[in-house]
Chain A
């Protein structure tokens, strides 16, 4: 494809977002406008923004690649993405979150926790955790994009990252959440177009759903080995079958499915979307739009991943590899880009590039906004002992967001490896740390500050300890290692323990008078 044509298209693409950023700037008059888009968003915008935030380039490229290794068993994650990530998230969590957010005048998850439990320190600690770890997740998003651009154009990684960060940073910092949500709508449409064409294209090449899956089922380990696919060993029962129970591939799939599938409920950047709804009906009507969007994203990505093995086998394409410490290893992140490059027309390469770019930009913008709000509003602003004007509050968050963008840029220029695992790690961390206090805060009136603090501190310590034990093994190593044994701990032990400790200490130590009064206010409209 002509690189000049791509550059011109890219400039046009970026110009639309910068323009929307300008419109967001003009529309932003109050603190509520900057942080929660004035609480005026309708169903379609909420659904598109939630979906575009949820589905990053990591989900589309990284998890398609993982599916090419472990087969269709990863479709369980698509099921959880729709059922838990949309239905349970909006119906069980979203509606109450919005009502409680209004009662407590909260605009971020840390603020919701801080106001609900009458603790500025809790708000600051939550904000700090979110701000720090979101940078790691955002760097994973950058890696997915770089992988695609390197395979397709050979564009230097650093150039891609710098341009990408600048564009997102400008429209986000200037336009606030209005700009973020409007650009999400445009990006979601581009993602939909790209994924629908990709799905139709691959299934058409393989003769339809049944024949495509049968062809995948018919690939023997020897056939997979002949193209260098790691599925030869990692999908022992075949690409369209579940791996043997408790085998290493089974546990790996289980870890990814639960880390991401359940972790989605406690993602601060997604929770913000509930707070933007103009009314309850907007949230309820976002459910079908969101369900369809996520279906077309994750279901498509996870379905076509394993089928790429069939296409590679039929077309004599070798499974992509990369060099790690002088050894060539399988590179699942490059599977989808390779298939598109080899088997699709050049016009589609452009569309798909923009779809992936849109997925990465939308997620990065939401992460930057949430991380900036966490550091600016929840940490710094709360450390000031005096009241500040709304203008100054927005200014502080803009500066904090700028700092987050620069920090991510620096880390991304020294990229971490294994995109999908980093995402699972981030989702797992958020689930471990926030899911218990968030759930109990919404549904159990006796939850108190002490219980939340104990659960919160214990799980952070637990997760970080596991991280430092695990990180050296996942950075720069092949896909399968001891990683899954380590990663099983945080989500399967940390999360239940977090619930247990929060409940236990809430029972042992009772709420004080102030907490009780705030609790009553919180549940006023529920």
Chain B
């Protein structure tokens, strides 16, 4: 049986898949930290934020 880093293909996919899933998480964070601008400022969601915005509007 062919082993990759001492693992069979089924286990190796899980092994490398876990590492790749972590890389995906890191890339997602980097994207929202440095590239994508948050649109939440335009859409207040909490009741407090809404009240504050209404007060500011008034």
Q: Point out residues on A near B: beta carbons under 8 Å.
A: 39, 71-73, 75-76, 78-79, 81-83, 86-87, 91, 98-99, 102-103, 105, 209-217, 237-238, 240-242, 279-281, 284-285, 287-292, 295, 299, 303, 525
Contact = CB atoms under 8 A, between A and B. Distances in A.
A402 B8 CA distance: 49
B16 to A, nearest CB: 9
DSSP class of A's interface residues: helix, strand, loop or mixed?
helix
A240 B6 contact: yes
A279 B40 contact: yes
B12 to A, nearest CB: 9
A216 B6 contact: yes
Interface in B3-57: 3, 5-8, 10-11, 14-15, 17-19, 21-22, 24-26, 28-30, 32-33, 38, 40, 43, 45-47
A207 B40 CA distance: 50
A291 B32 CA distance: 15
A240 B11 contact: yes
A78 B14 contact: yes
Nearest to A82: B21
Interface of B: 1, 3, 5-8, 10-11, 14-15, 17-19, 21-22, 24-26, 28-30, 32-33, 38, 40, 43, 45-47
B28 A299 contact: no
A288 B11 contact: no
Most buried by A among B1, B10, B21, B29: B21
10 contacts: A71-B11, A72-B11, A86-B25, A87-B24, A238-B8, A240-B11, A279-B40, A284-B29, A287-B29, A295-B19
Contacts of B8: 237-238, 240-242
A112 to B, nearest CB: 14
A237 B11 CA distance: 12
A75 B15 CA distance: 6
A212 B19 contact: no
B21 A525 contact: no
A78 B7 CA distance: 16
Contacts of B6: 209-217, 240
B11 A299 contact: no
Nearest to B24: A87
B28 A87 contact: yes
A187 B45 CA distance: 32
B11 A292 contact: no
Contact of B47 (A102, A215, A288, A292): A102
Contacts of B17: 79, 83
Nearest to B43: A525
